[in-house]
Amino acid sequence: MGNFTTYSLYGMNIVRSKPLKVRDSKTEKQLTVRARMTRLAETYKAFSSIIALGFPENSYGKSPQNMFVSANFASAFVTTEEGQVISYPQLLLAKGSLPIVTIPEASTDADGIKLRYDAGVLFPEVMASDEIIACAGLTTGELLIARQFMGNEPIGTLLLKHPSLQSEEVACCYVFVRSGDGKKASDSVYVPLSK
């Protein structure tokens, strides 16, 4: 009707309206916001399967994409001469209340990316039935994913399989923990790879 529409979302009645006249002023601040939103949308598309696992907490009425944008909009960017660019070490693909994972060693070898993680410091908040999730974005646009149960060993190993992978082919690598029931997660940790 006119310039408004209604719908129901999570049991709430929502009314939205469109402005009758749109002014598209292009201040520097608005252009920065638009550039950041564009970069976050591109990043979400690349990592959507991981982001869906990484934001389970406080999600009532919010999508994983909304929570991802909220967690990264202010902190995951650097300004360069090319504009707003995602800073992979500052990017969060998961956010939650579980303790973060410590990765003492990460390297590429003939099988792929090998990650050693310290599970001992995560106990007792993290249990053997919880899972550790790792992903790596390659410069080709491919996304490597590995998931496994934590187990009871104090030091564990996780392998992101990709034969004959070179470290310069890896754009970014992240690890986080997710509870066995899927209701909690830790903040993701950016993992630099040794050459």
Q: Tens digits of per-residue pLDDT, 29-54?
A: 888 899 999 999 999 999 999 999 99
Give the model's pLDDT for residue 5.
Answer: 85
Reported confidence tier of residue 1, pLDDT bands at 50, 70, 90:
low
Q: What one-character-per-residue DSSP string does 150-170 give?
A: --S-SEEEEEEE-TT--GGGE
Reported confidence tier of residue 164, pLDDT bands at 50, 70, 90:
confident
Give the model's pLDDT for residue 142.
Answer: 93
Domains and CATH numbers, the chain: 27-90 (no CATH), 102-190 (2.60.40)
Q: Tens digits of per-residue pLDDT, 81-140?
A: 888 899 999 999 999 999 999 999 999 988 999 999 998 878 788 888 899 999 999 999
CA distance 110 to 97: 35
Pick the closest to residue 103 from 173, 180, 165, 182 (CA basis). Answer: 173
Enter the pTM of the model.
Answer: 0.83
Helices 28-54 and 64-72, packing angle to 10 deg: 130
